[in-house]
Structure 1
Amino acid sequence: MLQAFLQDYGYLALFIGTFFEGETILVVAGFLASRGYLDINLVMLTAASGGYCGDQLWYFLGRRKGREILARKPHWEALGEKALNHLRRYPDIWVLGFRFVYGLRTVMPVAIGISGYPPLRFLLLNALSAIIWAIVLGTAAFHLGSALELLLDDIKHYEILVISALIIIGCGLFGWRRFRNRRPS
């Protein structure tokens, strides 16, 4: 059942997941690639494409309606101001590295768009960043799966448990971030 679902929808689910956020789904896909359900090269290509497209969309929305977007969510507005301060000091470094800073994945491209950062430059540096991100995180997850295979005699028996644990951890981090951002300062 898992294999049939992944063959039919695995890469599409990975693209959609990385378009919107991505870390958890990329880790799960890297693990599944280590188990032979997905191809690690296609996982990294799909994740880089999804992350790139999502960030491009947020960047262009930031250029057009960035202040309105940030104003809708008070915690985004505060994060957006922090992001703009970082961008003013080290613009290229932040464009290359924002996706590695947990909690800034959506806000940062909006802030970059607001800042007036050149579109072509963002297009190129965002592509490079998405590729690096997908390779680093995808490879790490792939090797996590390989390491678990060494630790567990019959990993096939534990696959669903490992996938569930990865998803629960990812959802827990997402929930913790949401809760933390909603608390009054």
Structure 2
Amino acid sequence: MTLEQLLSDYGLWAVLIGSGLEGETVVILGGLMVHHGLLALLPCIGVAALGSFIADQALFALGRRFRNHDFVRRIQARDAFASALTAFEKRPTLFVFGFRFLYGLRTVSPIAIGTTRLPFARFLTINAISALVWASIFVTLGMVFGHAIEAAFGRLKQVEDVLLVGVAVLLVGSGIVVLVRKWLTSRA
């Protein structure tokens, strides 16, 4: 089942869940559904904002509650976590507002922020405003550029089989490289 089919079959529920789990792609496709008249604009923006808001609040709570747990400590060891904290320390309010727009920091940032002393109510307020702005932008992009998005997807469908084979080869090749490296490291 494709992402487009899920959105078509489940509408606002798919946008709600997808905006929290996946992000921009689902929300832009939600905007495309608005473009076609299958979803209404304001409810689509509302559920996209809600899904993103809930996901980020949950990740913030995870960082806050389990900051000393092994799971969070493993995440703290990542470069993205350090980058998120550095950016947060420079401009806390701006970073809380903008992390969802930063590729590579989207998931780790609310966890990192949760480990700081930022008050829960402040994160909640900024996160709600940011989620609404984010959802408005990406749903609108999908709605306004609907024809261009459809044209791009149409061209992609023509080469879908070639892309699938290419991705499969890349994944298998990457797996082999990882296994060979592990084997060489264990021998050294």
Question: Where on the TM-score scale, by shorter chain, does this alignment land: which range?
Answer: 0.7 to 0.9
- What percent of counterpart residues are identical? 34
Aligned to 1:175: none
Q: 2:154 aligns with which of 151, 155, 161?
A: 161
1:62·1:69 contact (CA, 8 Å) conserved in 2? no
SS of 1:115's equivalent in the other structure is coil
Closer, same or farther in 2 for the Cα pair 1:26/1:164, shift >3 Å? farther
Structure 1: gaps spanning 5 or more residues: 150-154, 173-178
Match of 1:139 in 2: 140
Which residue number in structure 1 is paired with residue 170 of structure 2?
none
Deviation per residue, 1:62-98 (Å, 9 max, x gap): 0011353343358x72211111111111100000000
Matched, 1:71 2:65: no
Quote the residue 1:82 is aligned against: 83
Alignment CA distance shift 1:143-1:77 (3 Å): same
Unaligned runs of 5+ in 2: 168-173, 179-188
Give TM-score, length-normalised by structure 2.
0.73
Paired position in structure 2 for 1:93 = 94
Give the structure with higher Rg (CA). 2
In 2, the alpha carbon distance for the partners of 1:30 and 1:131 equals: 14
Structure 2 partner of 1:106 = 107
**Amino acid across the alignment from 2:128:** A
RMSD: 3.2
With the length of structure 1 as denominator, give the TM-score of the two structures.
Answer: 0.74
Residue 24 of structure 2 aligns with an amino acid whose one-letter code is: E
Structure 1 stretches of 4+ moved >6 Å: 162-165
